[in-house]
Amino acid sequence: MTRQFTYSGSPAHIVFGNGSSSQVAVWIERLGCRRALVLSTPHQAGDGEALAKKLGALAVGTFAGAAMHTPVEVTETALAKVRDVNADCVVALGGGSTTGLGKAIAYRTDLPQIVIPTTYAGSEVTPILGQTETGVKTTVRDAKILPEVVIYDPELTVGLPVAMSITSGLNAMAHAAEALYAQDRNPVSTLMAAEGLRALKQALPVLIEEPKNLAARGDALYGAWLCGTVLGTVGMALHHKICHTLGGSFDMPHAETHAVMLPHTIAFNAVAVPELLKPVVDIFGGSAGGGLHDFAKSVGAPLTLKELGLKQTDLDRAAELATKNPYWNPRPFDRAAIRALLQDAWEGRRPQH
C-alpha cells in the first residue's frame, strides 16, 4: 500500500544531451544575465578559459581556484573577483568542488548559477553546501544554493579518468541507495533512485573497456542526475554520516570513501529494511551489501579503508565521531556496532547481508 508522502519538485532547469554545453550562452541570456564569471579547479583551468572564450562578451572573467570541501578562504577570493568584474552570474564547469564554489558564491550573493558537471558527484541538483573554515566542515541548506540551470553534456565527461569515473559513479549510487530507505522518501524519489542505480550499474563496466563510449557516458551522467536529485530531496542516513566523518575529520578522499563504505552501510541497514532495499538486490543480485561489494570489485573500485590511507588506530575515534549527533537511520546502532562496521570496511570483507 502506498504510504503517506509529501513531494516537492526541484525548480531547476535540466538540459541534457551530447553537445548541450554549446547552449551556455542561451541560458545566460534566458536568466537575464550578461556578465558571467566562469569557475573551475586549477586542473580544469584550460577548459574554463576555453568556455569563457566561446562565450565571448557574455563572460567577464575566469576563476580557477575551486578546491575540495569549499574552503571559505577560496570563496572569499572568488567573491573579490565577482565584485572586481561585476559579474551577474556564475558558470561552474567541473565536479563537486567547482559546483561547491558556485553555490558558496550564490549563498552569499544570490547570483544565478549555471552548472556544467563533469563528474557524477550530484551536487549540482542539491540545495546543500558543505564548506570548511579552519579545518571544520559545516553544511547549510538554502534555496539560494540550488543552481538555476544544470547542463549535462556527456561529451565533457569522456576525459574523466576511468578510476575517477568508477568512484564518482559509486558516490552517486550511495545517494540513491540511502534514498530508498529515507524517512521522507516518496514514490518519485524511489523511482529515481532505482533508475539511477540501474543506469550507473549498466554504464560503469562499459566505461572500463571504452572510456570514450558516449552512450555509456550518457547513461552514467543520466544516473548521476537521478542520484543527485534524490540526494537533494530526501534525507540521508548512516552511510553519509560515516563518509562525512571520514572526510571531515580524517581528510579521506570523498568519492573513494563513499565507494568503500557503500556495501558495508547498506548491508548494515539491509538487516532492518530488506524490503526497501529490494531494488538493490534486483539490480546487483545476491544480498544488498554482498551484491554491491561484488559489483565494486568487478569494476576495480577500492574495497578497503586501509588502501585509502586510514590507520587502524583511527577506527576507534572514527566510530566515536560517527555516532555523535547521528543522522536518522532505519536501524538503531551504537558505537560498538559502528566500530565493527568500520573494521569490516577497513579490511574490505564481503558483507553477508
CA–CA gap between residue 280 and residue 274 (Å, rounded): 10
Tell whether residue 140 is a contact of ligand NAD (CB under 6 A).
Answer: no
Q: What is the total count of residues that contact ligand NAD (CB under 6 A)?
A: 27
Alpha-carbon gap, residue 159 to 194, rounded angstroms: 27
Tell whether residue 165 is a contact of ligand NAD (CB under 6 A): no
Instruction: Based on the shown chain and the rule CB under 6 A, indicate whether residue 62 belongs to the binding site for ligand NAD.
Output: no
Out of 19, 46, 135, 159, which residue is the one contacting ligand NAD (CB under 6 A)? 159
**Residue given cell 549555471 in the structure block:** 114
What contacts 350, CB < 8 A, 6 or more positions away? Answer: 263, 290, 293, 294
- The 59-63 sheet, strands edge to edge: 13-16, 149-152, 113-117, 89-94, 36-39, 59-63
Nearest distance in Å: CB 113, ligand NAD: 13
Q: What's the full length of the chain, in residues?
A: 353
Nearer to ligand NAD, 97 or 287 (CB): 97
Element (H, E) at 27: helix 24-30
**Are the C-beta atoms of 205 and 223 separated by less than 8 Å?**
no
Q: Which of 26, 29, 34, 43 contacts ligand NAD by CB under 6 A?
A: 43
Cell numbers placing 346 = 577497513
Task: Yes or no: say if 266 and 177 are a contact pair by the CB < 8 Å rule.
Answer: yes
* Smallest distance from ligand NAD to CB 201, Å: 19
Within 173-212, which residues bind ligand NAD (CB under 6 A)?
A: none
Say which amino acid occupies 232.
G
Q: Is 41 an interacting residue with respect to ligand NAD (CB under 6 A)? A: yes
Task: Work out whether 68 is an interface residue with ligand NAD (CB under 6 A).
Answer: yes
Whole-number Å distance between alpha carbons of 274 and 270: 5
3-state helix, strand, coil in the chain (%, to 5): 55, 10, 35
Q: How far apart are CA 36 and CA 85, in angstroms?
A: 9
Asked whether position 321 contacts ligand NAD by CB under 6 A, the answer is no
Please state, in angstroms and rounded to a whole number, the distance separating the CA atoms of residues 328 and 164: 30
Largest CA distance in the chain: 59
When the beta carbons of 52 and 160 are compared against ligand NAD, the nearer one is 160
Stretch that binds ligand NAD, among 12-20, 36-44, 50-58, 292-300 (CB under 6 A): 36-44
Site for ligand NAD in 249-268 (CB under 6 A): 254-255
Sole binder of ligand NAD in the list 48, 65, 71, 94 (CB under 6 A): 94
* Nearest CA among 258, 255, 10 for reference residue 127: 10
In whole angstroms, how close is the CB of 67 to ligand NAD at the nearest point? 8
**Is 234 an interacting residue with respect to ligand NAD (CB under 6 A)?**
no
Among 168, 186, 190, 245, binds ligand NAD (CB under 6 A): 168
**Binding to ligand NAD, residues 95-134 (CB under 6 A):** 95-98, 100, 118-119, 121-123, 126, 128-130
| Residue 65 within binding range of ligand NAD, rule CB under 6 A | no
Told to check if 224 binds ligand NAD by CB under 6 A, we report no
Instruction: Establish if 241 lies at the interface with ligand NAD (CB under 6 A).
Output: no
By CB under 6 A, name the one of 20, 21, 44, 75 that touches ligand NAD: 44
- Contacts with ligand NAD, residue ranges (CB under 6 A): 41, 43-44, 68-69, 94-98, 100, 118-119, 121-123, 126, 128-130, 157, 159-160, 168, 231, 254-255
